């Protein structure tokens, strides 16, 4: 695992494990039976979007959980970039 991946995993793992002490703000932007979307702001200024999609074979959108770096932390010594930092696929 690369150092950059380990550093971005901090954010995804914080959300997965619901470590609320690491968030300064959490907002649900979409909530239906089919999907959930939340925005998390971290102490270091990073903003991560979490998306959940109801799964099942043949759905075709390729992920069940997605974590996207919307705004990298400041300062950003690990040079994290905007974009998807982790996806978790549908269980087989």
Per-residue pLDDT in tens (0 to 9) along the chain, 92 residues: 455 565 889 999 999 999 999 999 999 999 999 999 999 999 999 999 999 988 755 555 567 899 999 999 999 988 999 999 999 887 65
- What is the predicted pLDDT for the residue at 92? 56
- What is the predicted pLDDT for the residue at 56? 59
Q: What is the DSSP string of 24-77?
A: EEEEEEEE-SSEEEEEEEETTS-EEEEEEE---TT--S--SEEEEEEE--SS-T
All structural domains of the chain with their residue ranges: 3-88
**Residue 88 forms beta bridges with which residues?**
65
Helix (H, G, I), strand (E, B) or coil at 2: coil
- Nearest CA among 10, 31, 20 for reference residue 76: 10
């Amino acid at each position: 695992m690369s150092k950059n991946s380990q550093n971005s995993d901090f954010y995804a793992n914080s959300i997965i494990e619901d470590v609320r002490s690491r968030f300064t703000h959490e907002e649900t932007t979409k909530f239906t039976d089919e999907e959930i979307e939340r925005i998390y702001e971290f102490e270091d200024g990073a903003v991560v979007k979490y998306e959940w999609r109801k799964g099942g074979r043949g759905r075709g959108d390729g992920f069940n959980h997605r974590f996207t770096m919307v705004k990298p932390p400041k300062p950003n010594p690990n040079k994290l970039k905007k974009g998807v930092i982790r996806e978790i696929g549908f269980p087989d």
